[in-house]
A = this chain, B = another copy of it.
Amino acid sequence: MSEQPTNGTETPGAVVDLLGLLAYAELVAFFRLSEDASLAPTLADKAELAQLATVEFGHYTRIRDRLVELGAEPGAAMEPFTAAVDAFHAQTAPNDWLESLVKAYVGDGIAADFYRQVAELVDPGTRELVHEVLSNAGHSEFVVARVRAATENDPKIAGRLALWARRLVGEALGQAQRVAAERAELAGLLVGRVEGAGGDLAEIGRMFARLTESHTARMNALGLST
């Protein structure tokens, strides 16, 4: 029924850390998207953001179940990451509907990139989960449509939202670096190696650079320059 935590080269502590971080991030994403929906101009838009929220909650339940399979207690696994994730959201509360849409899109995109990067670094069971979560990601086409409609004829709004997106990524990377510094095993997993004390910070920097690059590509697709 349940698998035992793996040992040795698969660094179970790091995998539990990773899943704990992702679980908490998804759970909070659910609550934040639900809350941000209050900014929606219409009931239909409100419901669309709620739909995105329920997708994040689905991810959360899958990751939580995997933690239980690995013999970890989900609450304890999430706990080390609540401060960083909460700080990110405290710093990035959207001021209006368009900011909340861009935040949903940027957050979903960074999360997907991150899942993709770590998928190859973990045990097969966890990898399968990551691919499942990825295949069920997104549903954010409506975000692209809404943002494009608002910015197409108004470069001022486009400029403001581009700045906002840059700030979101900056805050996300800042909190990610904080997490990497505090959780040596997790940082080691993320750079594809296991070291007792910390991983290679330059390698982590390169991973963050790759995330930033694909973020830029997404912003271009959205009609926002970075």
A interface residue numbers (CB < 8 A to B): 24, 27, 30-31, 34-35, 37-38, 42-44, 46-47, 50-51, 53-54, 57-58, 60-61, 64, 74-75, 78-79, 82
Question: When the two chains form their complex, are residues B31 and A75 in contact, meaning their CB atoms are under 8 A apart?
Answer: no
- In the complex, chain B residues whose CB is within 8 Å of the CB of A61: 47, 51
Give Cα A176–Cα B61 distance, bound, in whole angstroms: 35
The answer, among B43, B50, B60, for a CB contact under 8 Å with A47, is B60
A-B contact pairs, 7 of them (CB 8 A): A27-B46, A43-B82, A50-B57, A51-B61, A53-B57, A54-B57, A54-B58
Provided the pairs A50-B31, A51-B61, A57-B50 are in contact, do residues A74 and B43 lie with their beta carbons within 8 angstroms?
yes
- In the complex, chain B residues whose CB is within 8 Å of the CB of A24: 43
Interface SS, A side = helix
Question: When the two chains form their complex, are residues B47 and A64 in contact, meaning their CB atoms are under 8 A apart?
Answer: yes
The answer, among B35, B43, B79, for a CB contact under 8 Å with A34, is B35
The answer, among B34, B44, B75, for a CB contact under 8 Å with A42, is B75
Q: Which residue of B lies closest to A27 (CB)?
A: B47
Question: When the two chains form their complex, are residues A74 and B34 in contact, meaning their CB atoms are under 8 A apart?
Answer: no
A185 to chain B, nearest CB (A): 22
- In the complex, chain B residues whose CB is within 8 Å of the CB of A54: 54, 57-58
Q: Which residue of B lies closest to A76 (CB)?
A: B43
A25 to chain B, nearest CB (A): 13
- In the complex, chain B residues whose CB is within 8 Å of the CB of A42: 75
- In the complex, chain B residues whose CB is within 8 Å of the CB of A34: 30-31, 34-35, 53
Question: When the two chains form their complex, are residues A30 and B50 in contact, meaning their CB atoms are under 8 A apart?
Answer: yes
- In the complex, chain B residues whose CB is within 8 Å of the CB of A43: 24, 27, 74-75, 78-79, 82
Give Cα A38–Cα B47 distance, bound, in whole angstroms: 20
